Structure 1
């Protein structure tokens, strides 16, 4: 058993996020465990860019209400206590609604190349509006 050091809160990079996003790293892949975990905090209207995970991703809502959106246009709400599973290689994005902050714990595994996420292009304002309008936000 080992007590891990707490990492300082980091700002989500502009290459992966739109708006102000703060990230608390819980842990990265370590030894034989390939799991990486972060507690991610989105200000109202902030969001990830489009991306996918080689081994999939689990999101667990902790605060506020947000959305998780796939390339096919499926929109799910993410609220405290809700878990959403995104299968391997499914392109998606997630973020807070325009009027509410949102936080979630993100869990993903590294693949054989130590990759946990592949980042793509930013989510457009029109894509964001379409998703949030779909949930009545």
Structure 2
């Protein structure tokens, strides 16, 4: 299990210190939500994880299959939508693949992108167990 610790850092109304192993990040809400915009908002971090996982998964697959993939870029955006009368979160993911790839290879890479671990986790139901400590 990977370990992440998030705690208020006292530097802003919503600003959080995020520790992921040896890495330190700041999370915050944008000014429009009452934050100081000192770091990515929570949904931005989710999208960053999805984008990174997508790109890494495609790179690993291309290397294993010897594909002429020279560069991967993943652009993501988030919005709230109503689907069949139910409020939902929607992430739009646009994957740009550079290299001398056939249409069939590009289609296969899209299929592989949809199999990245973060994509799979986000499209399934999570089990989140929470406890409160003193």
Judge same fold: TM > 0.5, yes or no. no
Structure whose CA Rg is larger: 2
Q: TM-score range by the shorter chain?
A: under 0.3
Q: TM-score normalized by structure 2?
A: 0.22
Q: TM-score normalized by structure 1?
A: 0.21
Higher share in strand: 1
